Amino acid sequence: ERHCYRDREDNLRLKLYTYRRLIENLRKNYPNGTLLLAGWDFYFGWKPEEMREFIAQLDPEKTLIWDYEADAPGANNFTNWGVVGKFPYVFGIFQAYENAMDIRGNYPLIEERQKVILNDPFCRGYILWPENSHADIFMLHYFTKNAWKPGVKSIDEHLADFCAERYGDQAEAMNEVWKKVLPISQMLNWSLNFWSQTAKMMNAPDRVTNAATWQKAYLDQHDKLTDAPEIFRLLAEIDWSDPFIRRDTIDLARTTADRLLTLSRITLIHSMHEWSQGRLSTETVRARIAAYWDLACAMRDFLALHEDYSMWESLEKLKAVEPILNPDFDRVLLDNASCSYCQSHQYELMEYWYLPSIRTMLDWGEDRLAREDRSKITPPTQFPKVLKETREKVLGTKLIEMRPVLPRTPENYRKAMLKAADAAERIL
């Protein structure tokens, strides 16, 4: 991931030299210590043959290679570094960047890679290291079971056990929902969410004009979302009283909504191009705009319904433990949460930044429809300015003024689920 020189060979030599110096220092001061080398730079910056050259220089008695990107789709991983059956290593799942704080586990790939470590005495451990605080609860279960006995049960068996342990008499109903959500959740791995991708597009409005190619791979997964309306309807029938149920139903709902909002936005941009060329009716595009907006508002309600998504509530919990001395800490927290690396499913950002920005995007489309402007679509240059100004307004607002006020009642929960089901039906 890190480079000092333009020449790849020079970079490699510097890294090898640096590791030699680090190891010499380690052996001098901690002669019996074991060196754990995490694989982030290896995954992003090295080639398999470079890794094999490096590992050949290491002492297998006092070194562990930790590949915590074993769930990543790239071909550069522990399976081709020359460690399997030869050199001590640790198997790991990264699962998610900070902005990916919903349900997402690349289980098909994890299962495939797990087969490699079975009965390999050189595999010395199994570690999960996601970047987020509100973790995927099923992934925690899956990891815990597989860390001790990998590959013994299938995903469906793990899911049935998980639901039976967690949901009591609602286990069967929750298991049905989970089985439908998992394939949808896997439409995005590791990073990104509906908003981070929307912001990328609005910050680079030329992406509005080349929509025929941008994110086409996501559109090709359209069929995975067929069950989305039913997922929301099934969730609407869940008894929303148990704290585990309250937490996990919102996880399931916002994950499904996130993937569907991503699809809907891409479809909308394509629709505007189709309409401008006379291949779609005005009524069809308007209906798609309305459905997208309704689902976005349902997502806002999901986030309002649970305390984990409110930065204001998190801040209040922090204050109860330790007084905050910085009088401008609200802005600090908002600035961090809204940066491109961290922006995700935070209620205050959804209500006061994402939705107003989305409305600008939709109004741009509505305006063209109203004026019957079928001219070639050019980059909407106002998008970056609106995105920046709306964010600045949020940064200047106290969190208490943006806190969620929607009562967290079973009635409002059911209403939000049915609203999402209706919007999903119209989108699909």
Strands laid side by side in the 35-38 sheet: 35-38, 63-67, 89-93, 123-128
| Overall average pLDDT of the 300-319 stretch | 97
Q: What is the pLDDT of residues 171-181, one digit of tens each?
A: 999 999 999 99
Q: Which residues are CB-contacts of 13 (< 8 A; sequence separation ≥ 6)? A: none
The answer to which of 76-80, 131-135, 332-336 has the lowest mean pLDDT is: 131-135
Structure token pair of residue 287: 């209906």
List all residues 6 or more positions away from 261 whose beta carbon is below 8 Å from its beta carbon: 194, 292, 295, 296, 299
The structure tokens listed for 166 are: 């967690």
Q: Are 307 and 313 in contact (CB under 8 A)?
A: yes
At 212 the pLDDT is 57
Mean pLDDT, rounded, for 64-69: 93
| Average pLDDT of the chain, as a whole number | 94
- pLDDT higher than threshold 70 for residue 338: yes
Residue 1 has pLDDT above 70, yes or no: no
**Whole-number Å distance between alpha carbons of 248 and 138:** 9
Mean pLDDT over residues 228-254, rounded?
98
Is 90 exceeded by the pLDDT of residue 308? yes
The encoded tokens of residue 319 equal: 């204050």
Q: What is the pLDDT of residues 164-214, one digit of tens each?
A: 999 999 999 999 999 999 999 999 888 889 999 999 999 998 888 876 566
Q: Which of 294, 279, 272 is nearest to 371 (CA)?
A: 272
Residue 73 in this model has a pLDDT that exceeds 90: no
pLDDT of residue 189: 83
Query: If we measure between CA atoms, which residue out of 239, 250, 255 comes closest to residue 192?
Result: 255
Average pLDDT over residues 119-144: 92
Helix axis angle for 8-29 and 48-55, nearest 10°, is 30
Q: Where are the domains of the chain?
A: 8-162, 192-427
113: confidence class by pLDDT, cuts 50, 70, 90: very high
Q: Give the CATH number of domain 192-427.
A: 1.20.120
Average pLDDT of the segment spanning 386-413? 98
Longest CA–CA span in the chain (Å) reads 76
Per-residue model confidence (pLDDT) at position 174? 99
191 vs 411 pLDDT, higher one? 411
The answer, yes or no, to whether residue 84 has pLDDT greater than 90, is yes
Please tell me the predicted confidence (pLDDT) of residue 74: 81
